[in-house]
Structure 1
Amino acid sequence: MKTSTKWLLVLAGVATVGVLTVRHYQEQIGLALFERAVNSRVGRDATVSLPDGLHVALCGTGSPLPNADRAGACTVVIAGKHMYVVDAGEGGARNISLMGIPNGKIEGLFLTHFHSDHIDGMGPMMLLRWTGSSAKAPLAVHGPTGVEAVIAGFNAAYSQDNGYRVAHHGEDIVPPSGAGATAMPFAIEGESAVVLEKDGLKVTAFKVDHDPVSPAVGYRFDYKGRSVVVSGDTAKSAVLERVAKGADLLLHEALQPRLVSKMTAALDKKGLGNTAKITRDILDYHASPEEAADSARKAGVGQLVFTHIVPPFPSHFFNPAFQGNAPKRFKGEIVVGEDGMLFSMPAGSKAINRRELM
């Protein structure tokens, strides 16, 4: 027998023994690995090492169209020691936790409008904030007129569950006064209005065009010379361009009509006319990547990040097809947002640093 063949047989034997050993001790190995993972992740707080400044974490960059890699609309904004969330799409609270950002630190939620994909993750967000910090006051939910009805509905839907939690864990762990949410409605006379000022943070709400959805708003956050604008859902908006003037970061929704049209054609071919009608309709109240790039250029922002991505696509390979001509229309950096991204804008600096939290 050749030496090489003998070595192959020896290696095969060693591999077989290794596989059998792993199977024999699989339970013990699994327990040990699980304990190590728990010890490294439980209590993790990615916010404690952040420098003073403005930080934006993408907890959901998806849309109502199913996408395994993207939660519904959700953005975390951290200004100094204060943390807020814009929109609460399905899976957003889960991603906040997976990024190592404690839901218990959420001080308030800002809703851009009341489409289901921007509010359907509010239940888990209310629960994880409440249980994660033994909150004694409900989650403050800021939004345009109409937010009162949304919050009343969620509070009613979760009232029995809240009772179960208190009965099981006790009032010290889950104070009854901290369950649910409180509506904080605002009205906008003209184009925009300041809706919150706290410890150097200013939040400005502004009207956007998402007809027939009304009211619909975006938000600008300013803190210690740094700024981010979150568009919400909107067609190309002159108001947004005015409010976003000079912002460091523009987080803008984007729908690529060329790709959506291919989906529509496929739906028609399959005889799915009902869904095809919807994919045609959505073209008129969303902005394309190219239109968002035009707005970024007119506003003179530092960086453009696409979110609320439509349609879904499976990998980075498709980013250029999604962006289309956007890079030709805006010469600053353009990022196709993904769940887990963190953008940090330290106070006293012009830097925008990016890293992945999950």
Structure 2
Amino acid sequence: MRIGTRLGLAGVISGALCLTLAACSTSEPASQDGAVSGRTSSPPAELASAAGADQADIEVVLLGTGSPVPSVERFGNSTLVRANGLNLVFDAGRGASIRLNQLGVPIGTIDGVFLTHFHSDHVNGLADLWLTGYIPALGGREGSFHLYGPPGVSQISDGLLLTHQNDIDVRVADENLLRDTAAITPHEFDDEGVIFDRDDVRVTMFEVEHDAAGAIDPAVGYRIDYGESSVLISGDTRPTPNILKYGEDVDLLIHEVADFVDPSLPALQNVYSHHTNPQQAGEIFARTRPAMAAYSHIVHGAPPRIPDLPIEVIVERTRETYDGPLTVGEDLMAFYISDRDVRVESHTG
């Protein structure tokens, strides 16, 4: 699975920089240019039952917004999407199960996990999500663990089962665990298109380009639709035509971003070639015109060796090419979507 073309640069749109910690919606923006950023710390355990969810068609919570860098502030990349009673998780980076527990979402109630690709920072929380979900006192899952994605999902499933076979055998013998709850059901798809359609919730998988040479293959993104509301999750990608195709007029477009204090460092050139910088992302937002654009999988440093690029600078650089609503994601930030209205809540605890 590979796309060989890239998105060219478009015109420049200037915008003022304004960050706020308050909640906002696209109908009542919290700042002049619609840019929102928040920092989270010890959010309420029942965040998932916030009042905004009652009126929303789709609720999205950023479980982890970070990079491979181990961080207590930004966990590994993972996103929870809730629609019509379903709990869907996209990527399972470091700490995903911890964030779900903070939300008060029982880990055993996850209806499916969707992988964008197989870099470790997108799957290193997968075993924990699966294993904790089948422990009756912690997860209480009924039936198997459903894993979705491009070719390679079955191999990951087989590897997890082999690695943790002893744990499963012991719990079956010692705790009367039902072996079926420890099973993993892989759903592997070669072609892009709708790969999940249940209770009027549709998930469409599409190819993206994570590197120029095609070595990182497969790499995909996802669009989730329910009723008149929609979300697109880019996955890890360079500017890719499919983001424009599937992201046109989407309500919430969650895109990765990468930039650094000193972009000339030789060690960073490979990173830049594998990701989307703020100006490029702004161009994508300008062409797709989402009701809300949001950043997650924020790659901007590896302290202390490589200092973090300030979030304000990422926003400033995005504003060179985009002047619409923009949110810089933080862990446990929630989006409540009803058609073209997107309410953003950043919980400071």
* TM superposition score category, shorter chain reference: 0.7 to 0.9
Residue pair 1:56, 1:343 contacting (<8 A) in 2 also: yes
- The alignment partner of 1:259 has SS state of coil
Partner of 1:5: none
Q: Which residue of 2 aligns with 1:356?
A: 346
Matches of 1:230 and 1:129 in 2, distance apart? 24
Q: What amino acid is the match of 1:325?
A: R
CA distance in 2, matches of 1:75, 1:96: 10
Cα distance between partner residues in 1 of 2:87 and 2:49: 10
The reply on whether 1:259 has 2:251 as its aligned counterpart is: no
Query: Is residue 127–residue 180 contact of structure 1 (8 Å, CA) maintained in 2?
Result: no
Distance 1:241 1:260, change over 3 A: farther
Give the whole-Å Cα distance in 2 for the aligned partners of 1:260 and 1:240. Answer: 28
Secondary structure of the residue aligned to 1:240 is helix
Instruction: Select which of 103, 121, 124 maps to 1:120.
Output: 124
Identity of aligned residues (%): 30
State the shift of 1:317 in Å. Answer: 9.6
Residue aligned with 1:90, SS: coil
Shift in Å, 1:65: 2.1
Kindly report the root-mean-square deviation, in angstroms, between the aligned alpha carbons of the 2 structures: 2.3
SS at match of 1:101: coil
- Say whether 1:245 aligns with 2:248: yes
Preserved contact between residue 227 and residue 247 of structure 1 (Cα < 8 Å)? yes
Q: Which structure 2 residue ranges, 5 or more long, are not aligned?
A: 1-43
Q: For 2:179, which of 176, 179, 188 is the aligned residue?
A: 176
Partner of 2:140: 134
For residues 262 and 167 of structure 2, the distance between their equivalents in structure 1, rounded to whole angstroms, comes to 40
Name which one, 1 or 2, has greater alpha-carbon Rg: 1
Match of 1:326 among 313, 318, 339: 318
- CA contact 1:71–1:90 (8 Å) conserved in 2: yes
CA distance in 2, matches of 1:164, 1:306: 42
1:160 and 2:166 matched = yes
Q: Which residue is 1:235 aligned to?
A: 238
**Which amino acid letter does the alignment assign opposite residue 58 of structure 1?**
L
Whole-angstrom CA distance in 1 between matches of 2:196 and 2:345: 28
Report Cα offsets for 1:252-285 as digits up to 9, x if no partner: 00001x42637x4xxxxxxxxxxx63x3311101
CA displacement, residues 4-54 of structure 1 (integer Å, 9 cap, x when unaligned): xxxxxxxxxxxxxxxxxxxxxxxxxxxxxxxxxxxx95xx57248622511
Task: Quote the residue 1:304 is aligned against.
Answer: 293
1:1-358 alignment, distance < 5 Å: 44=46, 46-47=48-49, 50-51=53-54, 52-131=56-135, 132-171=138-177, 175-188=178-191, 192-211=192-211, 212-256=215-259, 258-259=260-261, 261=263, 264=265, 277=267, 279-312=268-301, 318-346=310-338, 349-356=339-346
Mapped contact 1:260–1:310 kept (Cα < 8 A): no
Once the two structures are overlaid, the 10-residue window that deviates more, 320-329 or 161-170, is: 161-170
Distance 1:144 1:79 in 2: 23
| Counterpart residue identity of residue 285, structure 2 | A
Distance in 2 (CA, whole Å) between partners of 1:181 and 1:312 is 35
Q: Give aligned pairs, total.
A: 295
* One-letter amino acid of the counterpart of residue 213, structure 1: I
Q: Is the 8 A contact 1:259 1:322 kept in 2?
A: no
**Which region of structure 1 is more displaced relative to structure 2, 194-203 or 48-57?**
48-57
Contact 1:45 1:102 in 2 (8 A): no
